[in-house]
A and B are shown apart, each in its own frame.
Chain A
Amino acid sequence: MLFISRLSKFLQIAWFSYIALWSAGASANASTVYVGPNHAIRSIREGLQKIKAGDSLIIDGGHYKEGNLIIQQAIVFMGINQPVIDGNLEFEILTISGKNIVVSGITFMNSGKSATRDYASIKCIDSENIRIENNKILNSYFGIHVSNSSQIHIKTNWISGQAESEQTSGNGIHLWKCNHALIENNHINGHRDGIYFEFVTESSILNNYSTENVRYGLHFMFSHKDYYARNTFIKNGAGVAVMYSREVTMESNHFENNWGAASYGILLKDISDSWIFSNTFDQNTIGIYIEGSSRMVVEKNLFKENGWALKVQASCNDIQFQYNNFLANTFDVATNGTNVLSRFNQNYWDKYDGYDRTKDGFGDIPYHPVSMYSMIVEENPNALILLRSILIATLDKAEKAIPSLTPENLVDFQPKIFPNKL
C-alpha cells in the first residue's frame, strides 16, 4: 500500500534524525548551559555565545526581550518553566540556519510585523534536520517560516495569531522549497493560511488542527508526493486549497464548516495522480471543487450537509468517485458542462429514490446526481433565489423522468441502497 510504505519511510527518517541528534549531544565534551533570571547567565544571547555544537541551552522561566536571536550550531534550545521570548512587535525572534537543531518548550510572542519582510517567530533557512516542538507561538506575523530546508519536524506547537486581513498577516506554518518535512499535532489559528506549502515534496502533515484562519486552513502549491492525514480544518475563511501538485494523498481529514460566499472544503486545481479517501466534508459551502485535474481517486468520503458536495468542472478527466456517502447536501454534484469525463460508481446518495428489487445492494436504475436545478444555477447563479420553491421541486422531478439538460454520462450505475461502510 502506498500510504503504509510512505508512513514507514517517514518513521525511518524520524528515527535516524533522532539518533543523530542525541548521539551528537551525548558526545564526550557536550555540556549544558542554563539561562535565566536566577542563573549566572541571564541573557539568551550571552548563552548562545557560550555554547558550541552538541551543547544544550536550557532557558529557565522568564520573560526575555532580546531582539533577533540566531542559531547556527547543532544545539538543543530548550525551555523549562515556560519561558517567554518576546519580539516586542519589532523583531524576528529566532532565526535558525544549520543542521541538527532542536527548539522546544518555549513561548514565542509578538514577532515583528512588516509588509515587506516576512518576519516570523521562528525562521529556518537552508537548514537540515531541525525539530521544533512543544512551543507556543502567539501573536506573530508568520509563526514558523521554513525555506530551502529538509527534514524539518514541526510537532505539537500551539500557533495562534490575531490576523484581521490577508494583507496584514502571515501564515501559521510556512514551508517553501523543502522536502521530507513532518508537520504533526499542531494547533494553528488566526493566521492568513494555517499551513502553507510551496515546492514542498515528500512530506507529511498529520493530526493538525487548523481553524479560523483568514484565508485557507491548508494551502499548498507545487508540492508533490505529500501525505495529509487526520487533520481537521474548521471555519477557515476559504477552506483548503490545493494546486498544481501531483501524487498527493489525503486521508481521514475533516473539512468542516468552511461556510461562506467563496469557501471550500477543498479546492483542487491542476492536481493529478492523487488519492483522496476517508475524509469527512461537513457543512462546507462547497465540499470539493475540482478543476483541471486528472487521474484521481476520490473514495470512501462522507459528504454531509454541504451546499454543494462536489463541483466537478468539465476540465477534469479520469476522476473516479466511488464508495462515497452523500447525505443531506443541498446539491450533490454540479458541473459546468455536459461532457464529463469522470466516473461515479457505488456511491450512496440519500436523494436516490429507486428500489432494489434484485436485492444486490444496488439500486435498479442508475442515479443522475446532477439535478436540473443545479445546472440552472450553474448557468445563472441568481436563480438560487428560487431554492426550495415548488417550481424547482417540480422541475427536478420532471427532469428525472425525462432527462434533457443534465449531463447524460454523469451517472452512477450502481447507486448503493444503504450507506457505504467508511
Chain B
Amino acid sequence: MWKLSKYIFYDIVRNKVIIAYTLFLFIVSLLLFNLEENSAKAILSLLNIQLVTIPLISMIFATIHYYNSYEFIEMLLSQPLSRSRVLWSEFLSTAASLILALIIGMGIPILLYSSNADSFALLLTGIGLTTVCTSIAFFASVHSRDKARGIGIVLLLWFYFALIYDGFVLMILFNFGDYPLEKITLLLTALNPIDLARVSIMLKMDVSALMGYTGALYKEFFGSFSGILYTGGIMIMWIIIPIYFAVRGFNRKDM
C-alpha cells in the first residue's frame, strides 16, 4: 500500500492545481501576516480562509482526481492488488498531498510569523479538515456514476456543511431558545466537521469570553483533555466513516 501511495503521491504533488493551491495559501498567509499588525488577528483571518478554501478545494480536487485516475485505477485492479488497497492508496496519497500543500502554504508563514500554540492548533485543524473532506469526496465519488455528478454532489455537500447546516443550527437556536441549549449546541457542532474545526479554534482564540458563562463552559470543555479527545475523536470519526463506506462501495462496484 505504501509503495503505491508513494508513487501516486509523487504524481499528485506535481499537479498544477496542487501547486497553485500551495502558492495561493502561501501568498494569502504572507499577506495576512504582513497586513495585520496583530498575529492573532491574522490567525483569525486565516481561520476564515481555511473554513472556506480547505473544504472546497479538498473535496473538488479529490473528486476530480478520482475520476481522472479511473483508467489507471482499472489498470491497477487488473494487477494482483486488492481493491481496498488501491482505494486506500489513492485516498492516502490524495490527502497527503493536500496536507503537504497546506503545511507548506500555511505552515511556513506561520512558522515565520507566529509560531505559537494557537497557530499550530489552526494548522492541525486544517490538516484534520483536509483529511475529512478528502474522505467525504472519495465517498461521494465512489458512489456516483460520473464526474459531473460527483462534482455536483461534493459542491452540494460543501454548500451544506459550510452554509446550510449553520442555518439549521440558527433555526434550532431560535425555535428552542427557551430551553437550555448548551449541550445541544455542542452536539450540533460535532455533526459538521467545518463547524467543529471553527468552534474549537475560535474557543482557543479566546472568543469564549464573548459567549459569557456558556463560553467559559465551552472553553473549559474544549480546553480540557477530555475535550481534546472528544474533538479529535469526532474528527477521526469524520475521516474513518466516509472512507470506510467508500471502500465498501468500491469493493462491490463494477468498474
Contact = CB atoms under 8 A, between A and B. Distances in A.
Interface of A: 259-263, 285, 305, 307-308, 328, 330, 376, 379-394
Nearest to A263: B209
Most buried by A among B163, B177, B185, B211: B211
B184 to A, nearest CB: 9
B44 A260 contact: no
Contacts of B19: none
B210 A387 contact: yes
Given A261-B216, A285-B209, A389-B198, A382 B52 contact: no
B209 A261 contact: yes
A383 B210 contact: no
Nearest to B166: A391
B189 interface: yes
A387 B189 contact: no
Contacts of A307: 207, 209-210
Contact of B211 (A305, A381, A390): A381
A379 B178 CA distance: 11
B189 A385 contact: yes
Interface stretch (B76-84, B96-104, B167-175, B245-253): B167-175
Interface residues of B, number: 35
B166 A380 contact: no
27 contacts: A259-B209, A260-B216, A261-B211, A261-B212, A261-B213, A285-B210, A305-B38, A305-B41, A328-B38, A330-B207, A376-B170, A380-B173, A380-B174, A380-B177, A381-B212, A381-B214, A382-B214, A385-B173, A385-B185, A385-B189, A385-B199, A387-B207, A389-B198, A390-B51, A391-B167, A391-B170, A393-B48
Given A328-B38, A381-B214, A394-B163, A386 B170 contact: yes
Interface in B136-188: 162-163, 166-167, 169-170, 173-174, 177, 181-182, 185
Nearest to B205: A388
A386 B162 CA distance: 11
Contacts of A383: 170, 173-174
A386 B181 CA distance: 14
B195 interface: yes
Contacts of A285: 209-210
B57 interface: no
B215 interface: yes
Nearest to B52: A390
A183 to B, nearest CB: 29
A384 B209 contact: no
B202 A387 contact: yes
Contacts of A263: 209
B170 A328 contact: no
Contacts of A394: 163
A388 B210 contact: no
B177 to A, nearest CB: 5
B122 to A, nearest CB: 12
Contact of B185 (A261, A382, A393): A382
B166 A386 contact: yes
B176 to A, nearest CB: 10
A257 to B, nearest CB: 11
B149 to A, nearest CB: 25
Contacts of A380: 173-174, 177
Given A380-B174, A382-B182, A391 B163 contact: yes
A388 B212 contact: no
A262 B170 contact: no
